[in-house]
Amino acid sequence: MEYFNLHTHQFTNQENILELVNQYPTDFDSTIPFYSIGIHPWYIDENRIEEDLKIIEQKLQTENCLAIGECGLDKRIEMPLDLQISVFEKQLALAEKFKKPVVIHCVAAYQEVIETKKRLKVTVPMIIHGFSKNAQIASQLITAGFYLSFGKYLIKNPDLKTVFQSVPNDRFFLETDTMEETIQQVYKLASVYKQLNIKELNKLISSNYKSVFKS
């Protein structure tokens, strides 16, 4: 693995990239080699929560499923927060049961996500994907034991540079999510911000990958 893409919705099938492709229980592609699977807060369907959780549980027991997610909390949607928290907690329980990391979608609910981690005493790694907030929130998350993944906003928002630079080197990942830019482009910018060459950055993220995904 030369590059690791922590979160993407687009499988590009390149030999030098390990892509953690986001999958959903209701729309699963068995041809994708490595993936995460979860109930996104946007797509919670009360009529099929238990069915979706059973599918997730089955997939978590396979080697190709590297993580659960994306799952989490989003205060900017109409989905009731109590329902979101309930579904999130059930997925965290599965993550603990099968010792899989969690890729988290979080919008305007960082304190709730931190509180949930503490209350449930979650021991598996939890990664906030698509991080775009300030250094204070980043610090709170790092202190609470989270990892942060950067991609779209790192490229589109120059103000995120100092936040990214403040994140410890053993606590971050890089991703493309849904954007057109490649993971190589994200690595290139990250290497400049972190004042590392690409080989050093590759080695660093490979080490983080091994630490989190036990591979």
**Which residue ranges are tagged as binding site for a divalent metal cation?**
70, 105, 129, 177
Annotated binding residues, written as ranges, equal 70, 105, 129, 177
Residues 107, 143: Cα–Cα separation, whole Å: 19
The number of beta carbons lying within 10 Å of the beta carbon of residue 120 is 14
Sheet-wide strand order for 3-8: 3-8, 17-23, 35-37, 65-74, 102-107, 126-128, 147-150, 172-174
Write the CB contacts of 149 (distance below 8 Å, at least 6 apart in sequence). Answer: 6, 7, 103, 127, 128, 129, 130, 131, 172, 173, 174, 175
Tokens of 81: 């927060």
